[in-house]
């Protein structure tokens, strides 16, 4: 049971707000010590885990690109573009993005968009521009609400539609867990039953966005 002290190290380390990387390393060394593993073996295990999951770090390669395009003014250009279009509101824009996000996530293309790739540099500024076209005197509080809605739209779309893709890790994890409990489940069945949940989430969040549009129209009236 002493090897579980690594969990205690994680809890205490996060509680006192130590550096997360330092906490994880200390927890691994603690567990390895009581498991009879030498420090070099623990370090080797870290290296193997990083090498086996190196594709996870590939997403960070897009961050410098996002920084460059933001410095070049992509946020401002996105806002100007949306103000030239008639009939575009915050709700309609985000509903369109949510539909696009759910469809692409459902077929396994989740990494093509996200908070860093599209919400911050493109979608949120466009939503703010649509609101400014209705009411040029929108407050900072309203701008923050729009940014939060844009981020929430991406989260809702991905969270409730990712399980439609049969090869998603969460689907395979559920299938594996059920199999260990002697319950045989075809992954495609889980994927099919994720569709009603995705549709329901779309309807609920779209209603929230339309209600936000109505609130903006009331504020914009003289």
pLDDT, tens digit (0-9, with 9 covering 90-100), for 105-125:
998 888 888 888 889 888 998
The model's confidence at residue 65, banded by pLDDT at 50, 70 and 90, is low
The answer, yes or no, to whether residue 49 has pLDDT greater than 70, is: no
Q: What is the pTM of this model?
A: 0.67
The model's confidence at residue 170, banded by pLDDT at 50, 70 and 90, is confident
What confidence tens digit (pLDDT) does each residue in 52-63 have? 655 455 556 666
Cα–Cα distance for residue pair 59/103, rounded to 1 Å:
21
Write the CB contacts of 205 (distance below 8 Å, at least 6 apart in sequence): 98, 152, 153, 156, 157
Which spans in 16-139 are helix H? 20-34, 39-52, 62-71, 74-83, 90-106, 124-134
The model's confidence at residue 87, banded by pLDDT at 50, 70 and 90, is confident
């Amino acid at each position: 049971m002493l090897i579980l002290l690594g969990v205690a190290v994680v809890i205490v380390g996060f509680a006192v707000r130590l550096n997360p990387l330092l906490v994880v390393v200390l927890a691994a060394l603690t567990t390895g010590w009581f498991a009879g593993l030498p420090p070099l073996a623990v370090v080797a295990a870290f290296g193997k885990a990083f090498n086996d999951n190196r594709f996870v770090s590939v997403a960070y390669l897009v961050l410098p690109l996002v920084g460059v395009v933001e410095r070049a003014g992509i946020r401002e250009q996105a806002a100007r573009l949306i103000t030239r279009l008639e009939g575009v509101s915050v709700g309609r824009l985000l509903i369109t993005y949510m539909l696009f996000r759910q469809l692409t996530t459902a077929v396994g293309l989740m990494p093509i968009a996200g908070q860093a790739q599209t919400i911050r540099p493109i979608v949120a500024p466009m939503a703010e521009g649509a609101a400014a076209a209705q009411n040029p005197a929108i407050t900072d509080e309203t701008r923050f609400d729009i940014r939060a809605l844009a981020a929430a739209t991406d989260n809702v779309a991905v969270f409730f539609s990712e399980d439609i893709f049969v090869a998603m890790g969460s689907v395979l994890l559920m299938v594996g867990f059920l199999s260990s409990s002697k319950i045989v489940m075809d992954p495609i069945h889980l994927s099919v039953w994720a569709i009603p949940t995705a549709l329901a989430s779309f309807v609920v969040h779209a209603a929230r966005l339309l209600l936000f549009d109505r609130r903006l129209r009331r504020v914009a009236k003289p």
